[in-house]
Structure 1
Amino acid sequence: MDTALTAVPVSPSRVESALKSPLNWFIYQAGGQAGTTQAQSIGTFIHAIAERHPDGPAEDLLAELERRLPGLGLEPGWEAERVAADARRMIGYFVGYLRQMEQDGRSRVAVEHQFHQELERDGLRVQINGIIDRLEKDAEGRPYVVDLKTGKRAPSNDELQELPQLGVYQAAIAAGALPAEDFERPTEPGGAALVQLRTTNKSVKIQGQPALDPGRQWAIEQIFTAARAMIGPRYLAIHGGADNPGCALPAICPIHSIGRQTTEWHR
C-alpha cells in the first residue's frame, strides 16, 4: 500500500487487536474467525432493541424484547428460559443506564451514528470509520460516546484510562468527526463510557473514560501505531498475557508451526 497516497482504514473496534497482535488483526480482517456464537447473537439482539427504543421507557423496551424473542429460534426448555432471563436482565440494566444518564445531565443525540474522519501524521494518513452505539451531549454541550457491551469481559480501571476503542472515538471527535450543529462544543470530547449490560452487579456497571486531555497524545499514538501494524506485508504474531493468550488461527501462526524459524515476543 502506498501510504503517501492511500489512507489506511482504521476501525475503533479493531485498534486494540492490531496493537496486541497484528497477525490476529489480519486474521479477523480476512474473516478467519469462529462463527457467530449464541452470546454474540444475544448481543446483536439487545443492541437492536436499544436502538429501536433508545430513550425507553422500560415498558416499551420489554415489550419489544418479548416480541423479538421468538426470532432467536430457541427450542422451548430451560436453555430458552435462561436466555430470555438474561436478556430481560440486560434490558433492565439499560433502563438503569438511561436513568443515570439523565442524572448526569446528558441527553441523547443519536444512536448507531456512523462517522468518518481522516488524520495524518509523519506522512501516514488514516481513515477512521466507526459507528457509535449512543452519541450523547453533556451539560457543557460536548459530545459523549457510549458503547453498549454485552460480553462478559470488562477492562480493569487501569486499562480503561487509555482503552483504545474509546480513545479512537474521542480522537476522531477532537479532529472534527461530528456535525457542528448538534453540539455547542463539537470538537471537545466530553469523555466516553462502556456500559456493561452482562454483569452480576445489582445495578448497571458504567465504566467511564475521562475526556481526552489536549496535552496528551496517547490516543493518537495508538491510532498511528495500529495503522502502521495494519499496513503489512508482514504481521507480527504476539503471544503472552492473560488478555492475549494466543493466535486466533493457530494453523497459520508461526509460533505454533513446528520446524519453522520464528521470532516470538512474550509480554
Structure 2
Amino acid sequence: KQVIESVLGSLKDGGYLGNDILGSGFKFNIDLITGAGSYVCGEETALMESIENKRGTVRQRPPVPAVSGLYGKPTVLNNVLTFAYAVYILSDNSNLEYFLSLGTENSKGTMPFQVSGAVNNPGIFELPFGVTLRELLKLAGAVENAETVQIGGPLGAYFPLRAEFLNLKLSYEGVSEKGGMLGHGGIVVFGQGTDMKYRLLNSLDFFIDESCGKCAPCRIGTVRLKELFERIFKKQNIEENLKIIDEILESMKYLSLCGFGAGVYMPVRSLLTHYKNEIIEV
C-alpha cells in the first residue's frame, strides 16, 4: 500500500494525475481503497459493496454493473492486467500486430504466470499464452519429485504431472479443454507425498470461511460437502455419500449466485477424478 501511495503521489506532483493533467484541462484521479481481505470481494459486485463500505456480499443481477454499478452509476470493472493491455494496445506507439502475434488463436498476448510451491525459483513469469506447463515448470525450477499442480487459484483444478498434462498449453481454451480454468494464471506445485485428503479438507475449510452466505447453494453446500466427506473418511455409506456430493456440486455449479460458489465444483471434482484412491481408502 505504501509503495502504491508513493507512486500516486509522484504522479500527482508531476501533473500526470489530478484536475488539470499537464495543463490539458483533462481530469483523471486514482483513489486507493483498502478492502478487508475477503476472497469473495474479487467478484465484481461484492467488490463494489466493499468500496461502498458495505459488507462484501454478491449483488443480484440484473442490473449488471455497466448499467448500475458503484453508487448506482454505470461502472467498468477490470483487473489491472486488462487495463495494462488496453494502454499498450491503444497507445499511439503500440505495435498491435506484434501483440496479436503472441499467444494462441483465442488467447492473445501474454500472461504473468505466478508460480509457487515445490519450485526452486518461485515468482512471476510473463510469457505468451500457449506455453506448455512443462516449459513453465522448467523455468520455475520445479523439484524433481513434483507430482501435482493446481492451476487457476483456489478455485482451479488439480492435475497430476504426467505427460498428458505436462504438455498442456497454458491458454484459456487449453486449460478449459482439460476440465480446468486458467484464471489469473496462478500455479501451485506440490511435491511427492502431498496428502491429497488434507488438500481437499483444507480447500473445503477455505470455501466455508470465504462464502459470503448470500445464496443457499454456496452457504449450505460448502458445509454439507465437508460433512459428507468426513462421513466417507469414516467409511460410512461411501457410494451413497459420493452420489450426494455429485448432486451438491452440480447444484452449486449452476445455481450459485456468483462464480465463487459455482467454482467449488472444479477443485473438488478434479481431486475426485485424479486422486480418488488416495482420498477415499475403501
Q: Which has the higher contact order (CA 8 A, sep 6+)?
A: 1
Larger radius of gyration: 2
Which interval holds the TM-score relative to the shorter structure?
under 0.3
Structure number with the higher helix fraction is 2
TM (norm. structure 1) is 0.25
TM (norm. structure 2) is 0.24
Structure number with the higher strand fraction is 1
